[in-house]
Amino acid sequence: MAVLFTLIILLSAFLLFQIQPILTKEQLSQFGGGASIWSAGLFFFQTCVLLGYLYIHLIRHLRLQWQIALHQVLLIIAVAVTYTHVEQSTLNTLPPIWSVVVSLAVQIGPIFIMLSTTSVLLQKWHCLLNQSPVPYHWYALSNFGSLIALLTFPFIFEVYFALTTLKELWFLALLVLVTLLFALMALLTHKVSRKTSVSPTKPTKTIFNHHLLCITLAALSSLLLSSTTFMINVNIPPMPLTWVIPLAIYLITFIIAFLLPVQSGSFYSNSALVFATLAGILMYFLGSKFSAAAQFSMYTLVLFICTLSCHRALRQIAPNQHSMTSFYICIAFGSVLGSFTSSVFAPVIFNLPLEYPLTLLAIFSLHLYNYTQCSVSKYMKLGYLIILMSVTFSFVLLNNAYTTLNVITKRNFYGMLTVKDLTINDTTERRLIDGTTIHGYELMDGASPNTGYYHGKTGIAKAIKTLQANGPINIGIIGLGAGVLATQGRKHDTITFYELNPAVYHVAKKYFSYLNNSLADIEVKIGDGRQLIAKEISQSAFQQDAIVIDAFTSDVIPTHLLTTEAFELYWQRMRNNGVLIMHISNNHIDLMPVMANLSLRFNKSLLLFDFKSSASSQLGSRWLIMTSNEVFIESMPTSTLVNRYVYINQFTAPWTDEKHSLLPYIKL
């Protein structure tokens, strides 16, 4: 029976954490690929775990036979309603984060709640049958199963399997798990019938402070996980890898804390926490100056040290079997509280991601408080207190210096925008910055407005000028930025911007002059560019001469805009000789193989404009143009016709909505 217990716990945890990235990735095509999708998904899944633990707590007074019978009925119902879909029209009426939550809840909510109970419920049943201590190492075993799922998804399953195939395989594995669970429950029922009495024991009272400490520790570790994921995804593409690895680190610290002997409060662990706090705050201010690998490594190291401190403290106060369910509920509630704070609360009250450094300071403060309650010398207590005060004071000073040039900072579900006024060589320059990437700027004296990525030497400027040689043009642009491309329009031209983030439009309209001063007819549509284009096709809108894709927020890749299905929409929206123009400048991802495959798939030519510059007013940029318009190609000056076959290998099949991975294209 021990083997069956182990197998069920491992498989259940594996399925729980395999379905998370599958369904969360599926949401990206609906909500624009923002990094906050991952935080919203994490909030939903942690809420399901809390509901599962509450269910265990509520049935604890039932006899074991009744607990088993009830669980069997609920499992059958949950399996029957798995993968139910909700209408997109219903989701469109909700705020983005709640659209994600509702979509996930309808598809997977009931079965996810039931699966989340497996480890704790089996621990409870084991204790009832054998009157033994709580096997907390099973909780570590459950986290190990989750860890395997998380690590295999980005490196194996995402690369080699389509989403539909993964969902089908997951459901088959679910049926296997349910079969094993029913077999185990039958064995347990038989074992119970041979005992004279197996009734739940009365729980012992636990003090409120104990529960509060559990919730606080769990909330801080969860909040640090969510805020770390946000910080990573500001400048690194929000692919499952950047969501999975931090969560894997989080699980590893649970495994270490609940499986290995408790060692908390040592000189080495205290020193590590001091280092992590300082390093995390420095990364908050200076992280964008480092490479993607360096950022990722440092953020995850800080996460590991701080969450391990929290989880070791949790293991130290873990109760006996009588209060076990309360303990797990406190952990789950704290986890939900942390992810809710990061996903919903923090974007409302903070324009900057201040929850990250504040969480680091809170973890250090709590650890310092607990440590100073022990029998340590007053000099050691004073030393740690001085460190805390120094770090806090330094953070305040750095934050003031960091934001002193900000005109406005806006943060919402889709990310963080900052408008800065900088004085360079006696010239005041206003910049729009998304994360750390410049999305357009304007000289405040009104001179040379068309600068940055869009000056006259870039591929986009040359392409538009070539198109305009034949008369007024009608183009669509996915991604607004500061609205700099509006200046490329001439009288009688029509330019339609598709912008996902309403805050971008507000900032471009109020703080920059490009939209207001353009000679062209300008229209800005708020929503996901791909969905808006599909809607225009269904309404038989006038066909466009060109579509520009310039929606890569802070080096983030909205992969749903670069799939075969998306490109089919673009070609339907344009005239037969239409031109697709793409801004592919990126510090971390090489998009050339993706574009080469798509050009072959649609039998189009590729032109590359790779402009390098050291001038502050003319940023280097890389533009690709895809078209079958031979007249346009011959008219384009100083372009490179791409040999697409150079970029083709076994890992570069054309992306589809069902199957695409950024992993093979990461620049090392």
Which residues pair with residue 624 across a beta bridge? 582, 608
Residue 35 has pLDDT above 60, yes or no: no
Residue reference for tokens 């070791």: 312
pLDDT classification of 82: cutoffs 50, 70, 90 = very high
pLDDT of residue 377: 63
What is the average pLDDT across 539-549? Answer: 92
Residue bearing the bigger pLDDT, 53 or 551: 53
Whether the CA torsion 491, 494, 498, 501 is positive or negative: it is: positive
Residues 224, 303: Cα–Cα separation, whole Å? 7
> Within a 10 A sphere around the Cβ of 397, how many other Cβ atoms?
10
Residues 545, 446: Cα–Cα separation, whole Å? 30
What is the average pLDDT across 473-498? Answer: 94
What is the average pLDDT across 31-35? Answer: 56
Residues 346, 655: Cα–Cα separation, whole Å? 34
What is the average pLDDT across 217-237? Answer: 87
Is the separation of the CB atoms in 156 and 654 below 8 Å?
A: no
Please tell us whether the domain made up of 444-665 is placed in CATH 1.10.1060.10: no
Residue 116 has pLDDT above 80, yes or no: yes
pLDDT 10s digits, 6-16: 999 999 999 99
pLDDT classification of 553: cutoffs 50, 70, 90 = low
pLDDT classification of 367: cutoffs 50, 70, 90 = confident
pLDDT of residue 194: 67
Q: Do domains 206-404 and 444-665 have the same CATH topology?
A: no
Q: Residue 296 burial (CB < 10 Å; 0-12/13-18/19+)?
A: buried
The mean of the pLDDT values for the chain is: 84
pLDDT classification of 109: cutoffs 50, 70, 90 = very high
pLDDT 10s digits, 233-255: 776 655 657 777 898 899 999 99
pLDDT classification of 32: cutoffs 50, 70, 90 = low
User: Domain ranges in the chain?
Assistant: 1-197, 206-404, 444-665
What is the average pLDDT across 216-236? Answer: 88
Half-sphere exposure of 357 toward its Cβ, with a 13 Å CA cutoff?
Answer: 22
Residue 120 has pLDDT above 80, yes or no: yes
Distance of CA 570 to the CA centre of its chain: 27
Residue 59 has pLDDT above 60, yes or no: yes
pLDDT 10s digits, 256-305: 998 886 655 566 777 899 899 999 988 988 887 787 788 889 999 999 99
pLDDT of residue 256: 93
pLDDT classification of 527: cutoffs 50, 70, 90 = confident
Q: Single out the residue of 577, 560, 558 nearest to residue 625, CA to CA.
A: 577
Least confident segment among 78-87, 173-182, 363-372, 573-582: 363-372
Strands (E), 449-590: 474-478, 494-499, 521-526, 544-549, 574-583
What is the average pLDDT across 57-85? Answer: 91
pLDDT 10s digits, 124-159: 888 888 777 778 888 899 999 999 998 898 888 988
Residue 402 has pLDDT above 60, yes or no: yes
Pair type for strands 494-499 and 474-478: parallel
pLDDT 10s digits, 597-649: 999 999 999 988 887 655 555 566 789 999 999 999 988 876 677 777 677 76
Classify domain 1-197 at the CATH class level: mainly alpha
Q: Single out the residue of 502, 492, 494, 491 nearest to residue 477, CA to CA.
A: 494
Residue bearing the bigger pLDDT, 284 or 586: 284
Residues 588, 668: Cα–Cα separation, whole Å? 8
pLDDT of residue 512: 93
Tell me the three state secondary structure of residue 521.
strand
Whether the CA torsion 423, 402, 235, 98 is positive or negative: it is: negative
Residue bearing the bigger pLDDT, 388 or 224: 224
pLDDT of residue 182: 96
pLDDT 10s digits, 408-427: 888 887 778 889 888 877 78
pLDDT of residue 165: 94
Please tell us whether the domain made up of 206-404 is placed in CATH 1.20.1250: yes
In the chain, what percentage of residues exceed pLDDT 90?
A: 41
pLDDT classification of 36: cutoffs 50, 70, 90 = low
Least confident segment among 229-233, 566-570, 571-575: 229-233
Name the CA dihedral angle for 547, 549, 551, 555, rounded to a multiple of 10 degrees. Answer: -170
Residues of 144-163 as b/e, b for ≥16 C-beta within 10 angstroms? bbbbbbbbebbeebbeebeb
